[in-house]
Amino acid sequence: MESRLDTDKQAVIDEVQRFVEREVIPVAHDLEHDDIYPVELIEKMKTLGIFSATIPEVYGGLGFDFYTYSQIIEQLSRGWMSLAGIVNTHVLVAYMIATYGTEEQRRAFLPVMAQGEKRGGICLSEANAGSDVQAITMTATRDGSDYLLNGSKLWVTNGQRGGIFAVLARTDTAARPPFRGMSIFLVEKGTPGLSSSRTFEKLGYKGVETAELVFDNVRVPAANLLGGVEGEGFKHAMSGLEVGRINVAARAVGVAQAAFNDAIRYARQRSTFGKPIAQHQAIQLKLAGMATKIEAARLLLHQAAQKKDRGERCDLEAGMAKLFATEMCQEVTLEAMRIFGGYGYTKEFNVERYYRDAPFMLVAEGTSEIQQLVIARQLLERYKI
């Protein structure tokens, strides 16, 4: 049984790889530069089952582990990182529902999410609360059998085209520390009072909307309180962010791999001083360093994903993977641009896109500095005297 399951997983990874080669790479350059939402690619991703990858089979998903999921995300990012972003928040919301939701919530939301018809969005950050999640001011006030949500959320991927949003709000504003009074609500698109006030123009990560959502007396049934118990939202969000950091690390590995692939191909074709630049020692040193760091990041990523699959706390491993992979990606994309020389600075080649996409991953799902703090806290706990 396990052998057959592994074969099925590898078949999906291989199919995603072929999809990237045939369908994504040929169109990504133009879609990205024109900042066009990839409607046709999204439809094909639904058919491939990418949106259902980690959703349990009983709810219509493929039921894959995060180790397999990380490889799918790496392949998508190799073609176009924005596609993996559209998937990330969706999978993150589905994970929180599957892990912490009531059975009624699982049956209500997961089957439509598995089809990709309703895609998920995560609403955590606010104008004055990014890394400091406990500083959020959005409130959810009980009103009979409902809650009224008021406030706004920033940096919402799938903010305009998402169908189900996991929204972190304060249900007890007097709780100390504040995280004890936070809860997550599942809010569907079209709920009265929910609107998108604006989208942000970005350096990279184009083709997918990053929006601000406004909640003005948004009435949500108490049945949509994740898990049915108040005060658990911060825990739910932090566990979900472990999934998000695995995703971002996989994205970084995928983008870096794409940059390396382009760079080594160009180095074999471009000649200076009578021979391909790949035969110059300076270029060989760059290629060796790039490939080694990519492989190291990939191993850290796989370790974090496998620990998450075992149901263990993996904020240390996910933090390490996210920190190392994203910093590595920034470095590798710059090295790729240097190998291309002047051409790397033009829009004729994809390398400039990789270079613009890389900084996003340094701040997504927690900045590098936050990752270092998370890692340090866990190390001090692990090595305490």
* Tally of CA atoms within 13 A in the half-sphere of 219 that contains its CB: 5
pLDDT, tens only, 324-343: 999 999 999 999 999 999 99
Q: How confident is the model at residue 131 (pLDDT cuts 50, 70, 90)?
A: confident
* pLDDT computed for residue 372 by the predictor: 97
Provide the 8-state DSSP code for 144. Answer: T
3-state helix, strand, coil in the chain (%, to 5): 60, 15, 25
Q: Which domain holds residue 244?
A: 235-382
The CATH number for 239's domain is 1.20.140.10
* pLDDT computed for residue 4 by the predictor: 54
* Element (DSSP H or E) covering residue 121: strand 120-123
pLDDT, tens only, 351-361: 999 999 999 99
Assess contact for 201 and 113: CB atoms under 8 A.
no
For the chain, give the mean pLDDT.
96
At which of 82, 114, 146 does a domain end?
A: 114
The single residue of 74, 212, 317, 365 carrying the catalytic annotation is 365
Are residue 172 and residue 292 in the same domain, yes or no?
Answer: no
Please confirm, yes or no, whether 365 is among the known catalytic residues.
yes
Q: What global pTM score does this model have?
A: 0.95
Q: Is 92 helix (H, G, I), strand (E, B) or coil?
A: helix
* pLDDT computed for residue 2 by the predictor: 52
How crowded is residue 10: how many other Cβ atoms within 10 Å of its Cβ?
12
Assess contact for 374 and 316: CB atoms under 8 A.
yes
Please state the three-class secondary structure of 172-202 as a single string: CCCCCCHHHHEEEEEEECCCCCEEEEEECCC
Q: Is 345 helix (H, G, I), strand (E, B) or coil?
A: helix
* pLDDT computed for residue 1 by the predictor: 41
Tokens of 215: 């909640």
Are residue 221 and residue 263 in the same domain, yes or no?
Answer: no
Are residue 285 and residue 355 in the same domain, yes or no?
Answer: yes
Q: How many structural domains comprise the chain?
A: 3
Are residue 239 and residue 345 in the same domain, yes or no?
Answer: yes
Are residue 240 and residue 376 in the same domain, yes or no?
Answer: yes
pLDDT, average across residues 242-264: 97
Are residue 212 and residue 270 in the same domain, yes or no?
Answer: no
* pLDDT computed for residue 28 by the predictor: 97
The CATH number for 177's domain is 2.40.110.10
pLDDT tops 90 at residue 262: yes
Are residue 251 and residue 184 in the same domain, yes or no?
Answer: no
At which of 114, 135, 160 does a domain end?
A: 114
At which of 174, 207, 231 does a domain end?
A: 231
pLDDT tops 60 at residue 64: yes
